[in-house]
Amino acid sequence: MTDRSTSEPEICLIFPCYNEQEVLPDLLDVLRLLDLGIPMRFLFIDDGSADKTLPILQDACISDQRMACLSFSRNFGHQVAVTAGLKHAKGDIVAILDADLQDPPELLKQFIEKWREGYDVVYGIRANRKESWFLRTCYSSFYHLLEKSANILIPRDAGDFALMDRKVVDVLNTLPEHNRFVRGLRGWVGFRQTGVKYARPARHAGKPSYNMKRLTRLALDGLLSFSSAPLRFSAWLGVSAAFLGFCYLAYALGVFLSGKELPEGWTSTVVLILFLGGVQLIVLGILGEYLGRIFEEVKGRPHYVLGDRAGWITDIDPIKNC
């Protein structure tokens, strides 16, 4: 094994980009001035942007040999863009960053130090969340739920901002699932992992593309791909409902045996029907979520379809175009 403390690795920085025309000029300036002390490459994934993101990136690739760009045929989503980046990245270390400068590239120096100490995955931990009180509560409950129910360690408050050794990237690239929750997969892979705390700045320019719907989708992907706890929960829900039903039956029997008149029964019937109907729908919904994901997987479609490419990218499958 090469000695990491003295070796000169090459690093590849991956940036998923979706409608980032406003922030890209600043990002490119930062990257041109960036010095991490080791050779660098940059890979941009244009996730089907509708603005000038792609032409800006293509121009940048012409003027800087270290830059390359892949574009998707449509918007496939952030996690898929990161997946494509990991697949086509070159180099001994690969880093994933937001294109909006929320993950400061110069912080990678600290990450590389950790890598030299022997860590294979170094991820950023958001020390200060700048979101609203409501979103912060949602995030913290989600990570709490995930920590309690997932079968693997998914570090709290760690996003996709991370640096990974080549061997980790190679393993990630062999994982076939379509519902990609990259930070979860990264945790699943194992090896030596550590976090570095950082104050996450606000978005440099442009608008965030994660709205509540997309965030919920990501949270569901995380929860359902890494835990079967919801299935267990639905079973418990069924058992609890049955238990309540049994209690009611015992009560009714008790009343009957003591010779008293049984209550008319309308309200209790309606309550029971509503309660049991609700429980059944919840359970069906949870089963449906898993079934939908299984359906996605069995279709076995490629994760993304490529459009244009520029720069040093060469390893594209010409038949599958991915």
Taking the complex as a whole, the smallest distance from the CB of residue 215 to ligand UDP amounts, in Å, to 8
Could you tell me which stretch among 16-24, 101-109, 180-188, 219-227 binds Mg ion (CB under 5 A)? Answer: 101-109
Binding flag, residue 98, Mg ion (CB under 5 A): yes
20 binds, options ligand UDP, Mg ion, none, Cβ within 5 to 8 A by partner type: ligand UDP
Q: Which two tokens stand for residue 269?
A: 């019937």
81 binds, options ligand UDP, Mg ion, none, Cβ within 5 to 8 A by partner type: ligand UDP
Task: Give the C-alpha separation, 42 to 258, whole Å.
Answer: 81
The contact set with ligand UDP (CB under 6 A) reads: 16-18, 20, 47, 75, 77-78, 81, 98-100, 102, 203, 208-210
- Measured distance between the N- and C-terminal CA atoms of the chain, rounded to whole angstroms: 32
Contact 90, 60 (CB under 8 A): no
Which of 9/159 has CB closer to Mg ion? Answer: 159
Could you tell me which stretch among 56-64, 102-110, 112-120, 231-239 binds Mg ion (CB under 5 A)? Answer: 102-110
Instruction: Give the closest residue to 100 by CA, choosing from 201, 181, 197, 213.
Output: 201
Taking the complex as a whole, the smallest distance from the CB of residue 205 to Mg ion amounts, in Å, to 11
Task: Give the C-alpha separation, 158 to 160, whole Å.
Answer: 7
18 binds, options Mg ion, ligand UDP, none, Cβ within 5 to 8 A by partner type: ligand UDP
Residues contacting residue 225 through CB under 8 Å, at least 6 positions apart:
177, 179, 181, 184, 293
Residue type, 78: H
Q: Which two tokens stand for residue 195?
A: 């976090």
210 binds, options Mg ion, ligand UDP, none, Cβ within 5 to 8 A by partner type: ligand UDP
Other C-beta atoms within 10 Å of 146: how many?
24
221 binds, options Mg ion, ligand UDP, none, Cβ within 5 to 8 A by partner type: none
**Helix axis angle, 24-33 relative to 53-63, nearest 10°?**
20
Which of 97/283 has CB closer to Mg ion? Answer: 97
Which of 16/187 has CB closer to ligand UDP? Answer: 16
71 binds, options Mg ion, ligand UDP, none, Cβ within 5 to 8 A by partner type: none
User: Of the candidates 83, 102, 227, 234, which one interacts with Mg ion according to CB under 5 A?
Assistant: 102
Taking the complex as a whole, the smallest distance from the CB of residue 299 to ligand UDP amounts, in Å, to 21
103 binds, options ligand UDP, Mg ion, none, Cβ within 5 to 8 A by partner type: none
Q: Which two tokens stand for residue 249?
A: 């039956």
**Helix axis angle, 78-88 relative to 166-174, nearest 10°?**
120
Contact 65, 312 (CB under 8 A): yes
**How many residues sit close enough to Mg ion to count as binding (CB under 5 A)?**
3
Binding flag, residue 53, Mg ion (CB under 5 A): no
Q: Contacts from 248-257 at CB under 8 Å and sequence distance 24+?
A: 248/272
Taking the complex as a whole, the smallest distance from the CB of residue 226 to ligand UDP amounts, in Å, to 19
Task: Give the C-alpha separation, 145 to 142, whole Å.
Answer: 5
- Residues near Mg ion (CB under 5 A) are 98, 100, 102
